[in-house]
Structures are given as C-alpha cells and as structure tokens.
Amino acid sequence: MVNTPLAHDLLWGMSPAQLPADAPQWAVESLAAGQPVVVRRALSAEGYVAVGVRGVLREQRLAAFMPVESIACRVSPEALCHVECERDLPVMQVLQQLRPMLDDCGWVWGISGSVGFELASGFKAMHAASDLDLILRTPQLITRNQARKFVELFDQAACRIDLQLQMPFGAVALREWASGSARVLLKNQHQACLVTDPWNPQEQAA
C-alpha cells in the first residue's frame, strides 16, 4: 500500500494465522469469515500496522498487528458517508438526518464504529441502541463555538453521537473541545496527553 493506513480505516486481508497464538476463538472465526480489521492508534514495528479485531459482542475486541503487505483492501471512514443501508434503526435514521449538514459543514467527515463497520463490510454490527461514531478531518482550527453548535445539534438526536476531531497531531473528542476546558486530551500513536492547543501541541503537553 502506498498510503499509510490511518486510525479508523478498515483493512481486509489479515488471516487467522497472523493472529497471536493465544488469540480467542471468536477472533479466529471473525477473520476466517472475511471480516476487516480496524486501524488503531498504537506504535507498530516496521512493516506492520496496529489493528483491532471485532467480535459479535461489544467486549470482544482484540488488539493485533497486521503485516502491511497483507492489506488487500482499505476503506476510510469518509468513503462511507453516503453508503446506504436498509436496516431501520435509530442510528441510521439519525445519520440520514445529519448527512446534509455534515456535507455542508466545510470539513471532510466520515463514519467509524459499528455503523462504519457494517456499512463497509455487510457484517451485522449495529443494534437498536448503537451510538453513531463520526470523525471530522480538521487540519485547521475549529473554534470552540463551532464545536458547541455541533454538540447542541447532536444532543437533539435519537441516539448518542460521538465525534472525534482528527488533527495533524492526533485526535480530540468534539465534546471535550466544546466543553471549554483549558486543556484537552490529545490522543496519537505515541500517547495521550493534555494540551491547550491540539493543532499546535509542541511543548504544551503535561
């Protein structure tokens, strides 16, 4: 792959044989069924990418490392924005309602979590109480006031919405940036640290 996989990308091509020897049976079955893995934020050795394997149950999550050369297909969250689904669930109704606003917001957005997983793979992952997990690619500053307007809109939705702001140096939860806290938690591949300006975090970490 020419492009480096980013957090929340879905990757196909990992085989059960590439799992750790002590991997649970559900993880073996997930990969054997052809499910993708999701890129996670963690350091990995040269030639590998840190990924997570999903099971049927919420608690079935396994951290693993996938050889880059095994990647057969990659789907990003933003590639899923307009993928349709026939399932009549609150989370899909909310997504349908939000699409026009997100399309017009001025930033690139995408779908992650269980909704993104099912839209990309066809494997059932959503249920009646599913959250809607979104990402917003914000290479430049989104003001706290703009963030608050998103939160106010999301709080009126029929399901919980969690949005991560994806910045050049990592990610911050929208709700935390909107909260007005002097410092916010910036997560990247190396660590999670408190910063005052997540777009310019150098020498601000605590």
Angle at 22 between CA 21 and CA 25, to 5 degrees: 105
Looking at residue 16, its pLDDT comes to 97
Which pLDDT band, with edges at 50, 70 and 90, does 203 fall under? low
**Rg of the chain, C-alpha, whole Å:** 17
Which pLDDT band, with edges at 50, 70 and 90, does 112 fall under? very high
Which is catalytic among the residues 22, 88, 104, 131? 131
Name the DSSP class of 112. E
Q: Average pLDDT of 126-154?
A: 96
**133 carries an active-site annotation:** yes
Q: Average pLDDT of 18-43?
A: 96
Give the domain ranges of the chain.
10-75, 77-195
Which pLDDT band, with edges at 50, 70 and 90, does 4 fall under? confident
Which is catalytic among the residues 9, 88, 103, 133? 133
**197 carries an active-site annotation:** no
